[in-house]
Structure 1
Amino acid sequence: MPGLLRGIARTAVISGTATAVSNRVSRRQQGRWAAQAAQQSYEQPAPYQQPSYQEPPAAETTTSTPDEMTAKIEQLKQLGELKAQGVLTDAEFQEQKRRLLA
């Protein structure tokens, strides 16, 4: 009978150890998979969304007074100076000029 009890005890210890090791391996693997999933979601760029652009409302055609024309000319000169200084790019200058003259 003592041999039988020793065999049962040994089997219980081995199966308990195997269960503990198996559970630990499963937890570590789950942690690795979660870390990989987080890393992949971090590395994937966000899907490209085309910026929405709305056309400005069409300007009404009105006759400008001489004072308004002088003010526009002054603003154009200021824009030209900013472009010459490198503050404005060509595209920005053209956009501001288009808005001013519209």
Structure 2
Amino acid sequence: MPGLLRGVARTAVVAGTATAVSNRVSRRQQGRWAAQEAAPAYQQPAQEPQAYQPPPQTTPLADDMSSKIDQLKQLGELKSQGVLTDAEFEEQKRRLLA
């Protein structure tokens, strides 16, 4: 029975992580599309076309840290729900922060 719970917990962590990453990618892409659609509205016809400037990039470190924080929150929720034991929580946290 503990093996089954461990498998369910892993599946929940993986699914939660995949959902968080997917949502973040969708939000980022929607932001880029909105920026591209809004840029032509500000140009006046008398001006020469401006060279394309990509939107400012967030630092990978900040994105990575926010995803780790989200994953830690999910692990904490699983632990508080009783899906993960203290040892399993600590092991997953160690892997995430390594």
Which of the five TM-score ranges fits, normalised by the shorter chain?
0.3 to 0.5
TM-score normalised over the length of structure 2? 0.43
**Whose Rg is larger?**
1
Q: Which has the higher contact order (CA 8 A, sep 6+)?
A: 2
